[in-house]
Amino acid sequence: MHTKARPFNSVFNSYLIYVGVALASAGVALYTPLIVSETGKAFSGTWAASILFGLNLGRVIGSHLGSRYPGLANHPFAVTGNILLEGIALYCMAYLQQAWALALFALLAGLGSGLSFPGLKNYLLKLKELDQASLFSRLAFAIRMGLVLGYLIAGWVPNHSLKIVFLIVLITFIAYAIFMLYAMRAIARHEADSNAALAVQELIENKAASEERSLAGQTSTASLPILFLLSNAVFWCFAVQPMIGFSLHIPKYTPEIPVSTPFWLAALVIIFFQIPVSKRAVRTLEHFRFLQIGYACLFASFVLMVVAGNHGVAVIASAILLSFGQVFYGPSFDVLIARHANQSSEDTGKLMSQQIFYQSMGTMIGSLAGGVLFDLAQTLHMPSLNWLLLSAGSLWMMLLSKNKIPDLYRRA
């Protein structure tokens, strides 16, 4: 007697992933401002930045390994193990006293993150019944929901309670791993069943789609240009600066506001605007326009810090502008990558790992540069130097994103 198979629910499994990501994001937001601020006070801005540098260096290494060896990043048990690696490495940071040791364990945590996140995106894209733009906008929404929760809790946690903080972080990553494992196994089973049942139909549809693309001249066989992927690295290099810049700037110039305030307010903005904005980007042209708007928001954010960085209200407004940049840029770039995967012969999992590689490379360089530029501004007695350089760079990228960056994508 055969038991009836449990029906597969794409929406339910996608929301399991979103909840897990939100929990992990809450853990990250809980520890990051505290550990960066404390390390900056005890050592220097550069040493504080080295923690995020190590974290993102690990992500770069992990995403590179994932693109070379997909089994390390795409199997459900591999993704789960990588999530647990990140959580355990972060928990160990509660017992470390030296900045170099914190950076080393941050690197291990980043390795787990760099291997697990491309797998997460790959499994989301296996939910063919759901719209890609909605998938990525809801993923960004879940991340920001978690960040708001974490930043709010961080504002109430005493700085000397880091062991409690990192215990909470470990618990959130264990829950994240459990939710992901359940969803990924269900998605993998559904994919295997669907592949067997729809083999002939897919062959016919693929042939028709191939002929249609051939007639339209839209078949893409080339890889995405390195310069296009580097543009994503540059965006996140600039966008991550305030994670270091605000954490070091606030205690020195605007101590009247808690160090976590700009972060949770910015995350609230993303929560309210992410999905409505993403729904408006229904065509490829719209997504390219949103990339340019993202850089424009970064430019406005940094200019505000140059002219009014000594005022707490200006710091908060700058963080909100920065969050709008991420609202416009992040999901639109994800959708462009996914569309290229659909229109080419490249493996989706490999493309996701490649995207995370360049994004992590940008945040790695940006996090270290944030600490170095802050220390340089202090040494030269030019408090706005770091923000001035960032505003000039973001203006240049905003101009390039009007024509140059879209052309790179379309030629692939």
Q: What's the pLDDT tens digit per position in 346-384?
A: 666 677 778 878 887 888 888 778 888 888 888 888 888
Higher pLDDT, 253 or 221: 253
Question: What pLDDT score does 345 carry?
Answer: 67
- pLDDT, residue 181, reads 93
Do residues 369 and 240 make contact, with C-beta atoms less than 8 angstroms apart? no
- Contact present, 219 and 288 (Cβ < 8 Å): no
pLDDT tens digits, one per residue of 63-98: 888 878 877 778 889 999 999 999 999 999 988 888
pLDDT over 90 percentage in the chain = 21
Q: What is the band of 307 on the pLDDT scale with cuts at 50, 70, 90? A: very high
Structure token digits, residue 214 = 């051939």
In the predicted model, is pLDDT for residue 39 greater than 60? yes
pLDDT band at 155 (very low <50, low <70, confident <90, very high): low
Distance CA 171, CA 174 (A): 5
What global pTM score does this model have?
Answer: 0.69
Report how far residue 246's alpha carbon sits from residue 33's, in angstroms, rounded to the nearest whole number: 9
pLDDT (0 to 100) of residue 335: 79
Residues 316 and 151: their CA atoms lie apart, in Å, by 14
pLDDT of residue 358: 87
**Predicted pLDDT of residue 221:** 52
DSSP structure class, residue 220: B
Which has more pLDDT, 37 or 185? Answer: 185
Helix (H, G, I), strand (E, B) or coil at 344: strand
| Contact predicate 85/108, CB 8 Å | yes
Confidence band, pLDDT 50/70/90 cuts, at residue 282: low
DSSP character for 96?
A: -
CB atoms within 10 A of CB 221: 9
In angstroms, the CA 155 to CA 325 distance is 24
Q: Is the pLDDT of residue 61 over 80?
A: yes
Helices vs. strands in the chain: H and E counts, helices first: 15, 0
Q: Specify the pLDDT at position 284.
A: 56
pLDDT at 97: 83
CB 158 within 8 A of CB 287: no
